[in-house]
Structure 1
């Protein structure tokens, strides 16, 4: 892993090479200036180096120069120039720019608006590009945005992206199988794709899989598997998952009931600002579940939750006030 001194040294060498006319260093130097890597961030200087790279027919330089014009990075906003440089990038073999050209046609930025032309470019992007382009095309077919809605094509492109390992598409393939989107419903196939995503380690995906198991949403309901995936996500500090682990322990759902463990998990989640968990901590202090009764602590946690807008906590505070607490 690089250190700051390493980055400073790398930038210095790239800059020296670029100043001596080594054209392949132009785009790299521009990126360093844009990101503030090894040097101070300077969008104007980054734009200048991207311009030099583009004029020497460096495809990535053309693409980044187009993005500068499209987003007013180091220069004035100029959609027509952005469109022309995206086209130049594609002509030089930079396939990722195809999607950007499609967006230009969709929104009429620097070129006459045309859904038909946009779709052609999105197709080209998906056929020549990475999983992300395929995923985005699938979303367009699923939503019918700018094209005729076609769920079969949506599934086809989600699957192609998923087979390239694009995780968002892997999850969507699971959704398609679960809900019969462009394919016959198949709970076993849905589960296979959901698990494939969750096993990559992202706590949000693990939490989402837990919810699927808990609700029987597109897959067979399984409280034990739900708890297992809640716990997996919770150990990575996912606050919603921590709250649900507390709920599982508190209700004995998918795991042996244990009020003390429930309280501990609620508290972990509450300490991250989860409003529902804060209310649950208040409840446990109020009822002496897994912890000694403490009305002062209960009220404190209910107030924290209510301040975030959680209606249940607001109702309880009103009830406590009416009882003179």
Structure 2
């Protein structure tokens, strides 16, 4: 089967930091990882993992081996560590193995093993695994389709604040798939997904307020949600934010800021590229804003803010 590369949230790069925060050395290793000092992060995790009871450090080591950060890439070695941890019923190992076998890619996709490991993690109330198992039932991935099962699992994950599950429930309501579906419920789920850190949820919440579909029309609220999504690098939100700055919808008109957001989204949104070109030709912009150097600076600032936001919101340092 082909790998499901877009299926799973926070899977590879973040695995190494989804560990228990019980030991100071784990926190030190996390700090080294976030600073890009991967060799130090691996060394710290390896030292701590010498104690067989330090399961979190071994989990972090496996993630670094899988991603090849701080140590040569070693997929079989990473799997061996996780399987040993799963044999000890370590929740994060069960969830990670389930996600890896479901997605494929670095390892061969195996839906039977994915189901086995995910079910073990679900019994341990792991929200990511709960969502992923629901995804399997929704899309008939190695299991028989069951609306009741995937809805039950999505609702469990959503109750734990898991953003992907909240987004899915929003989409199911918007598409009128559920018996009691409503656009108001969809917008509420989108807002909760946005609050949980998911850019697509924030974008959809902004759309609710911008269109007045499911929420009373409120351009200031739409602007706030689009800004959250734009700062998380959602291209459609960036283009919409540029348009709101250009037209003064929900915010004071500002051609420089309009151009910035159009330019950042231009590679993926053709209409944004055209509007950026129109602003350039209008003569309303400082020429320095239109350089490739300025675009690169905006992109670098955005990337830095995204990384800081992940740390602040707990995406990198999940307990």
Q: TM-score range by the shorter chain?
A: 0.5 to 0.7
Matched, 1:251 2:288: no
Per-residue CA deviations over 1:86-122 (Å, capped at 9, x if unaligned) read 1110111212211111111112223221122112211
Alignment of 1:95-244 (within 5 A): 95-144=127-176, 150-198=182-230, 200=231, 202=233, 204=235, 205-214=237-246, 219=249, 225=253, 227-233=255-261, 244=275
Whole-Å Cα distance in 2 between the matches of residues 23 and 188 of structure 1? 47
CA–CA distance in 2 between the matches of 1:75 and 1:246? 44
Deviation at 1:85, TM superposition (A): 1.3
- Cα distance in 2 for partners of 1:123, 1:160 equals 13
Can you list the C-alpha shifts for 1:56-88, whole angstroms capped at 9, x where unaligned?
011000011212322346755321221121111
CA shift in 2, pair 1:69/1:166, >3 Å = closer
Summarize deviations over 1:144-193 as a string: whole Å, max 9, x none.
46777531221121122334454432332221122122223333432343
Q: What are the Cα deviations for residues 279-321 of structure 1, in whole angstroms up to 9, with x where unaligned?
A: xxxxxxxxxxxxxxxxxxxxxxxxxxxxxxxxxxxxxxxxxxx
Instruction: Give the distance between the partners of 1:31 and 1:148, measured in 2 at CA.
Output: 41
Distance change >3 Å, CA 148–CA 83, structure 1 → 2: farther
Q: C-alpha distance in 2, partners of 1:95/1:226?
A: 42
- Structure 2 vs 1, CA of residues 128 and 12 (structure 1 numbering), >3 Å: closer, same or farther? closer
1:10 pairs with 2:40: no
Question: 2-side partners of 1:99 and 1:203: how far apart?
Answer: 22
State the Cα deviation string for residues 192-249 of structure 1 (Å, max 9, x = none).
Answer: 4334555x48584444311245468xx46x8x72513224447879668687455224
Q: What SS class does the counterpart of residue 278 from structure 2 fall into?
A: helix
Pair member with larger Rg: 1
Q: Distance between the aligned counterparts of 1:169 and 1:148, measured in 2?
A: 21
Counterpart for residue 79 of structure 2 = 47
Say whether the 8 Å CA contact 1:96–1:129 is kept in structure 2. no
Measure the CA separation in 1 of the matches of 2:234 and 2:36. Answer: 27
Q: 2-side partners of 1:160 and 1:26: how far apart?
A: 33
CA contact (8 A) 1:89 1:97 kept: yes
The total of aligned residue pairs comes to 257
**Cα RMSD (Å) of the superposition?**
3.6
The answer on whether the counterparts of 1:131 and 1:166 sit within 8 Å (CA) in structure 2 is yes
TM-score (norm 2): 0.66
Q: Take 1:97 and 1:79, find their aligned partners in 2: how far apart are those partners?
A: 14
In structure 2, do the counterparts of structure 1 residues 146 and 55 end up closer, same or farther at CA, with 3 Å as the change threshold?
farther
Distance in 1 of aligned mates of 2:210 and 2:265: 28
